[in-house]
């Protein structure tokens, strides 16, 4: 670390992250140095868990949400659940089919933001981006909340301290990602496949027990009753309730778009492999979703929106101490037996896959941020892949928002889900509408009848997708707005406003600094250079600065010292003469022991005398190794530099002198440079144009 | 504000301090621009309140502390109080007489630190400095706590939320001082004289009523009884209790040394005027102290260490809801009548003078810090008078420590005072011992018999002072150590350790960078300069940097661009040729869109090729006006600069381009430059050597 204030942020993070070494090692093992970015492409069997942990994990909460909403009209309304499941399945197939078109049309992995921007214009693109950013925050909050609830079905302590555990999990994930966790394919594959296998074993074993053995399986809540909040709902009210249940079921679709962002990470043929993976993911998700709903019906799971009041056991409400376990764990208890080995394994795998799903947001966020930065909607430094500080800021923002939501909503996945689905469907709808335009545009020029047929088919799929997802968006907005969707919309508005303001700022600056078209600009043509070396004492740093300044042949060179102590100044002058330094030494008095003002005044005076001259100020600087050493050095130099840069016609040159302690900082900087940005695996490697930086004149 | 991270500290403070404008205007009126530093010297009548608000205000709590300790042995022990008062008076005269010698011997205002360092060596000096730093923290905590208690006797709300009000008062004082409140003589004079006058009126009116009119005055607690904690104390235990009561009474002496730091602020003859003021202050303090103790006896004030248990009213303990008002306000209630106009005035004046006393610490701290920085025990930038950021850090440290103590001790002045007196007497004792050595040294060379006589007399006074204050220090340590004095000692050890470490660091660096005695150092002799201008786009900032770099005649000049986007690079090359810029443009590929690493690698490559060359890197930089704009610009430049400075043989030149928005920051910087450091008045003006910075070659 060196000149300029120490990057406190990074340093703090580094020291904090030391604490996370042990859990990190335990969780993901030693970082693999060999599988460097740019050498790995994902085969389908690894790509599936990497991209699908979010949509697959959502079957852990989506079925419960459906039953929960239906319970408002009483247990009798549960018989609508297969119809709602069917509607979700149709929607899932529609969305998957639509995104398969995206994957083929946009193999660059731009995702919904690129599709919307290209086809519908920057405002639609920015809307999608805002929706996705909100979505990432909610992915973290919902997945962690649900993960804690699932873990809680096996470990009661966790659910008793739900908010605390959820926030702790977010903090842990954040620290891991700040540290730069490599998204390793294996890391994702094991828990995801374990989860999928567990759910399938449960569905098959449940079906076998029920249909073949004829066992009657009972969920822990099978002998509970539900007091309907609205008895005998019918007509519009019933339809509205069914639509609300369907909206909640749509939570199963979140994260489907992830693959369309990650096409470059697939092995060749990229688009085809991505489309296949997408189809596999859709098939797995709907099977699991329907299986769990079916088993829930078979084992008489009861879910109530307000379990404390509306869930009746032995004639009395269960009260606020009752913990309503997720549907998946109730079903597992019925099928495998509560507390059995397989039950525990499934609960653990569910929690783990949900935590991985939350982690995908940490990977997706910097990717989207980088694309937005490229379009100047976010600070430029986000554009650089692996800019640790920039990513850190983004990750801290993401985690802060997720923690805030978790805290406000008491880590209650049911309440958080109300916010979740809006953003997803905003981006689905705009993306699919964009695809329709895309095909229209291509059809205008395409002559080949075979290709045209193909395009027309794709357009039909996307049109249906746009229509259906748009309809769902309206349903979600209508049924969820007051339940919390307005919070998500507010978040989108804030992101949209901020990004628009940033873009406007960059545009304004770009206009201000644009060079005139005339090849030479008169105001840019200075005539001579007046160099000044700032001197306090004659030690090595000063001698080096004097030697360097002498080497550069400026029109006028002098040394300048600010006299804050007459004795020191006298000693300096004597030393100067004794060493025979052939540079004139000018001394300015500073009765208040100020350094900055006399220098600024002097430089301004020079500029007044000859306005076309450039003043070049050389400042010897110490390079130190620890943040606390910064407090002891360079502070006046730093302040002086800051002030000098305001003065027109000035150049400020730092001549560094590396103290021994700077070695420590150098090592730290090297370590930081080796850091892996989150999201690198799912983005796919960059095509390296040359092994070593090559030069072209 | 400009390049380099924005000084968040300052900015935050600035925006916060906007809030304090109103209370500040209310409290001290509009800042007087005309009475600039260097034009005001204090007449005695203003110097007295400026320097004496601390010792004078201590009579608001010291008498109560004496009674409180005596009450442990029951009300009968109160008859010892005149003897204790007498001992405090003798001590006060001794200390005042001793410091009159200091003032004459050290007219430079170095104070105890200078006296101890000069005569007893740097370790003794550093001990004194540590003691004084702790003392400043406690001055704030004790004065504010006592001020809140006094205000509480008139406004019950304040004492009911004692800790909160005390911390709010500290925060307010801190904000005022961060903003740069001018210590104005008038500001101090009015409340201090009002307080002194109020106390004298009270004493005289009380004496008149009691002795002439024969009224019997009753304090609010006159009909209370005290349950002694130790009945019938005698022998050693009684002596120990009396010594403890005396130690508490010594709180009246805190702040006496302030005048010896402020001699340069007096009108001529400085030393004589300072000595006279010191005598006046001592006389006022002892009169007030004795008067209040006398009135407390006459009006039967009862003070108990644990009022809740030990104070008995109508046969029952008063309980924890009882608020024990300070002696001064109980006496005022007896003499003037509770809630009467004069009572309220005196309570207000007492609170105000105590807040002013707390404020003196905010002024004293940077002064001492500046002297310690000169001796390299604290960061160098503290040395500069008016370095706002440095002072801010010191003030925040002071306030933070005071708030912590206030919070831990529940703003209880009685418990805080246990910590207070140790530091004061450490510095008294060492300073007086130093003065004895001072006279011994001078006596060795002085031949003039008149002067020798004078010196021998001074030495006798200082010897007695050293002996007496040393004795008190031993008494204080013995009687207060377990009551809290150990906390103060711990604070001193921490300050001592930190300052020693800082000094050691500076010494080590000084050794490392010391230039060899040989007039020319081979390693310092580079041979040629290779200049590199970093280019991203051809806009005005870049064109300016190119023009400046061309002006400086280096041996080799080239432009360097990092290609993060092939399209942008192509556009840059085309623009370069179109404009006919006659500087070779080198382009480095960066597949990961990194900027820092390719540049560093390239520079290192150049250095490897010709190790005796110097590489000069020119970086065009935007100068922006608001902190949030920093997040949008210069971040990569900043990081690159940081890394480059680690590379030996490199110079880094910032070529600033002032954006329009930078005007805002320029104005702010100018405003900041006009800021007045706290403590400037009490330090006295610097002798300005010249009106304008003059130059001597």
DSSP result, B432-467 = HHHHHHHHHHHHHH---HHHHHHHHHHHHHHHHHHH
Question: Please, which residues 493-522 of chain A have a Cβ atom closer than 8 Å to chain B?
Answer: 502, 505-506, 509-510, 512-515, 519, 521
* pLDDT tens column, A621-666: 888 777 777 777 767 777 788 888 888 888 899 888 888 777 777 7
B656 and A643 within 8 Å at the Cβ level: the answer is no
Average the pLDDT over A301-306 and give the result: 84
A526 and B539 within 8 Å at the Cβ level: the answer is no
C-alpha to C-alpha distance for A196 and B339, rounded to whole angstroms: 79
| Arithmetic mean of pLDDT over chain A | 82
C-alpha to C-alpha distance for A158 and A153, rounded to whole angstroms: 9
C-alpha separations of A542 from A539, A561, A581, B514 in Å: 5, 11, 12, 10
C-alpha to C-alpha distance for B486 and B496, rounded to whole angstroms: 15
C-alpha to C-alpha distance for B73 and B61, rounded to whole angstroms: 20
A585 and B509 within 8 Å at the Cβ level: the answer is no
Chain A nearest C-alpha distance from B370 (Å): 11
Q: Strands across the sheet with B585-589, in order?
A: A695-696, B585-589, B556-563, B529-534, B614-623, B650-658, A650-658, A614-623, A529-534, A556-563, A585-589, B695-696
Residue B548 touches chain A, beta carbons under 8 Å: yes
- Comparing alpha-carbon positions, the chain A residue that sits nearest to B590 is A693
Nearest to B650 among A510, A656, A695 (CB): A656
User: Is A8 strand, coil or helix?
Assistant: helix
* pLDDT tens column, A206-236: 999 888 888 888 888 888 888 877 776 777 8
B597 and A389 within 8 Å at the Cβ level: the answer is no
C-alpha to C-alpha distance for B662 and A306, rounded to whole angstroms: 57
C-alpha to C-alpha distance for B388 and B382, rounded to whole angstroms: 9
Considering the domain B55-507, what is its CATH architecture?
A: Up-down Bundle (1.20)
CATH superfamily of A524-683: HUPs (3.40.50.620)
Please give the CATH topology (third level) of the domain spanning A41-190+234-280+353-507: Amino acid/polyamine transporter I (1.20.1740)
C-alpha to C-alpha distance for A304 and A74, rounded to whole angstroms: 9
Query: Which DSSP category does B208 fall into?
Result: I
Please give the CATH topology (third level) of the domain spanning B523-683: Rossmann fold (3.40.50)
Query: Which DSSP category does A615 fall into?
Result: E
Residue limits of CATH 1.20.1740.10 in chain A: 41-190+234-280+353-507
- Residues in chain B, total: 697
C-alpha separations of A208 from A193, A213, A335 in Å: 22, 6, 10
Largest CA distance in chain B: 106
Q: Looking at residue B15, what is its pLDDT? A: 31
C-alpha to C-alpha distance for B696 and B407, rounded to whole angstroms: 55
Identify which of B444, B387, B315 has the alpha carbon closest to the alpha carbon of residue B680. Answer: B387
Q: Which two tokens stand for residue B99?
A: 């410091």
- Do the strands A650-658 and A695-696 form a parallel or antiparallel pair, or are they unpaired? unpaired
Segment holding B226, helix H or strand E:
strand B225-226
A383 and B564 within 8 Å at the Cβ level: the answer is yes
Is the confidence at residue A5, as pLDDT, over 50? Answer: no
Percent of chain A with pLDDT over 70: 86
A505 and B598 within 8 Å at the Cβ level: the answer is no
* pLDDT tens column, A493-542: 999 999 999 999 989 888 888 877 655 554 556 778 899 999 988 888 88
Q: Are B430 and B114 in contact (CB under 8 A)?
A: no
Q: Looking at residue A405, what is its pLDDT? A: 93
* Contacts (Cβ under 8 Å, ≥6 apart) of A637: A3, A534, A619, A620, A621, A654
- Low-confidence residues in chain B, pLDDT < 70: 1-40, 109-110, 180-185, 232, 383-390, 517-525, 591-593, 634, 669-697
Q: Looking at residue B684, what is its pLDDT? A: 58
Residue A570 touches chain B, beta carbons under 8 Å: no
The answer to whether the Cα torsion of B7, B8, B12, B15 is positive or negative is positive
* pLDDT tens column, A329-348: 999 999 998 888 999 999 99
C-alpha separations of A27 from A23, A35, A46, B671 in Å: 6, 18, 19, 54
C-alpha separations of B593 from A122, A370, B576, B597, B634 in Å: 24, 11, 21, 10, 16
Q: Are A343 and A231 in contact (CB under 8 A)?
A: no
A623 and B645 within 8 Å at the Cβ level: the answer is yes
* pLDDT tens column, A257-281: 888 877 877 888 888 898 999 999 9
- Comparing alpha-carbon positions, the chain B residue that sits nearest to A653 is B653
Residue A477 touches chain B, beta carbons under 8 Å: no
Average the pLDDT over A161-181 and give the result: 85
State the angle between helix axes of A388-408 and A413-445 in degrees (0 to 180), rounded to the nearest 10: 130
- Does the interface predicted TM-score (ipTM) exceed 0.90? no
- Do the strands B695-696 and B529-534 form a parallel or antiparallel pair, or are they unpaired? unpaired
Residue B663 touches chain A, beta carbons under 8 Å: no
Chain B nearest C-alpha distance from A378 (Å): 8
A579 and B519 within 8 Å at the Cβ level: the answer is yes
Nearest to A2 among B589, B592, B642 (CB): B642
State the angle between helix axes of A449-480 and A235-249 in degrees (0 to 180), rounded to the nearest 10: 120
**Ramachandran assignment for A49, one of left (phi > 0), alpha (psi -120 to 50 degrees), beta (any other):** alpha
Identify which of B600, B399, B462, B353 has the alpha carbon closest to the alpha carbon of residue B101. Answer: B462
Residue A5 touches chain B, beta carbons under 8 Å: yes
Is the confidence at residue A19, as pLDDT, over 50? Answer: no
C-alpha to C-alpha distance for A435 and A127, rounded to whole angstroms: 16
Tell me the three-class secondary structure of B38-49, residue by residue: CCCCECHHHHHH
Residue limits of CATH 3.40.50.620 in chain B: 523-683
Residue limits of CATH 1.20.1740.10 in chain B: 55-507
User: Is A254 strand, coil or helix?
Assistant: coil
C-alpha to C-alpha distance for A290 and A619, rounded to whole angstroms: 71
Residue limits of CATH 3.40.50.620 in chain A: 524-683
Q: Looking at residue B517, what is its pLDDT? A: 65
Is the confidence at residue A199, as pLDDT, over 90? Answer: yes
Q: Is the pLDDT higher at B565 or at A453?
A: A453
C-alpha separations of B169 from A73, B135, B140, B254, B399 in Å: 59, 19, 10, 21, 11
Q: Which two tokens stand for residue B175?
A: 């904000």
Nearest to B689 among A528, A579, A591 (CB): A591
Q: Taking CB atoms and an 8 Å cutoff, what residues of chain A touch B509?
A: 622, 633, 659
CB pairs under 8 A between A and B: 304
Task: Tell me how far apart the terminal alpha carbons of chain A are, to the nearest angstrom.
Answer: 32
C-alpha to C-alpha distance for A301 and A326, rounded to whole angstroms: 10
User: Is B615 strand, coil or helix?
Assistant: strand
Q: Looking at residue A510, what is its pLDDT? A: 86
Q: Taking CB atoms and an 8 Å cutoff, what residues of chain A touch B4?
A: 3-5, 638, 641-642
C-alpha to C-alpha distance for B224 and B214, rounded to whole angstroms: 22
C-alpha to C-alpha distance for A152 and A347, rounded to whole angstroms: 9
Q: Which two tokens stand for residue B187?
A: 């500001």
C-alpha to C-alpha distance for B255 and B361, rounded to whole angstroms: 10
């Amino acid at each position: 670390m060196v000149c300029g204030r120490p990057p406190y942020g990074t340093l703090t993070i580094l020291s904090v992250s030391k604490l996370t070494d042990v859990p990190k090692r335990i969780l993901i093992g030693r970082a693999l140095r060999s599988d460097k970015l740019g050498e790995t492409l994902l085969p389908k069997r690894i790509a599936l868990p990497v991209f699908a942990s979010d949509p697959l994990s959502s079957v852990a909460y989506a079925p419960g949400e459906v039953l929960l909403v239906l319970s408002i009209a009483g247990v009798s309304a549960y018989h609508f659940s297969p119809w709602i499941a069917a509607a979700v399945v149709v929607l899932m197939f529609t969305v998957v089919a639509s995104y398969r078109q995206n994957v083929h049309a946009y193999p660059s992995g731009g995702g919904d933001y690129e599709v919307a921007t290209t086809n519908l214009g920057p405002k639609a693109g920015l809307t999608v981006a805002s929706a996705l950013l909100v979505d990432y925050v909610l992915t973290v909050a919902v997945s962690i909340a649900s993960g804690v609830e699932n873990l809680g079905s096996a470990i009661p302590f966790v659910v008793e301290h739900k908010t605390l555990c959820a926030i702790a999990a977010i903090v842990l994930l954040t620290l891991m990602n700040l540290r730069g966790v490599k998204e390793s394919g294996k890391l994702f594959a094991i828990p995801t496949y374990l989860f999928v296998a567990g759910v399938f074993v449960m569905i098959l074993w449940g079906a076998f027990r029920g249909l073949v053995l004829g066992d009657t399986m009972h969920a822990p809540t099978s002998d509970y009753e539900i007091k309907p909040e609205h008895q005998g709902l019918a007509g519009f009210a019933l339809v509205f309730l069914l639509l609300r249940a369907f909206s909640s079921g749509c939570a199963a679709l979140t994260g489907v778009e992830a693959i369309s962002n990650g096409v470059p990470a697939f092995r060749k043929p990229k688009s085809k492999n991505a489309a296949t993976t997408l189809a596999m993911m859709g098939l797995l998700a709907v099977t699991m979703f329907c299986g769990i709903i079916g088993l829930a019906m078979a084992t008489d799971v009861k879910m109530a929106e307000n379990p404390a009041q509306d869930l009746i056991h032995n004639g009395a409400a269960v009260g606020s101490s009752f913990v309503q376990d997720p549907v998946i764990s109730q079903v597992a208890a019925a099928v495998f037996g509560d507390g059995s080995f397989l039950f525990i394994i499934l609960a653990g795998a569910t929690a783990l896959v949900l935590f991985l799903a939350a982690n995908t947001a940490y990977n997706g966020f910097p990717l989207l941020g980088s694309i937005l930065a490229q379009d100047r909607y976010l600070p430029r430094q986000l554009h650089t892949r692996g800019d640790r500080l920039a990513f850190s800021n983004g990750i801290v923002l993401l985690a802060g928002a997720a923690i805030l939501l978790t805290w406000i909503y008491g880590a209650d996945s049911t309440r958080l889900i109300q916010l979740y689905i809006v953003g997803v469907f905003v981006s689905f709808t705009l993306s699919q509408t964009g695809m329709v335009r895309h095909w229209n545009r291509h059809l205008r020029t395409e002559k080949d009848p075979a290709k045209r047929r193909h395009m027309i088919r794709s357009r039909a799929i996307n049109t249906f997708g746009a229509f259906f997802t748009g309809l769902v968006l309206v349903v979600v907005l209508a049924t969820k707005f007051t339940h919390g969707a307005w919070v998500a919309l507010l978040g989108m508005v804030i992101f949209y406003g901020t990004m628009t303001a940033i873009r406007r700022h960059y545009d304004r600056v770009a206009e201000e600094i644009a060079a005139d078209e005339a090849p030479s600009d008169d105001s840019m043509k200075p005539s001579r250079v007046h160099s000044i070396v700032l001197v306090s004492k004659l030690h090595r740093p000063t001698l080096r600065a004097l030697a360097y300044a002498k080497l550069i042949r400026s029109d006028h060179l002098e040394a300048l010292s600010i006299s804050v102590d007459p004795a020191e100044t006298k000693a300096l002058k004597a030393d100067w003469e004794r060493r025979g330094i052939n540079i004139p030494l000018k001394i300015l008095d500073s009765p208040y022991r100020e350094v900055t003002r006399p220098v600024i005044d002097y430089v301004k005076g020079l500029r007044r005398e000859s306005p076309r001259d450039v003043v070049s100020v050389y400042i010897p600087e110490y390079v130190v190794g620890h943040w606390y050493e910064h407090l002891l050095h360079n502070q006046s130099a730093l302040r002086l530099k800051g002030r000098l840069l305001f003065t027109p016609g000035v150049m400020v040159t730092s001549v560094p002198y590396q103290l021994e302690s700077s070695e420590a900082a150098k090592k730290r900087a090297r370590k930081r440079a080796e850091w892996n940005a989150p999201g690198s695996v799912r983005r796919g490697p960059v095509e390296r144009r040359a092994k070593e930086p090559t030069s072209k004149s």
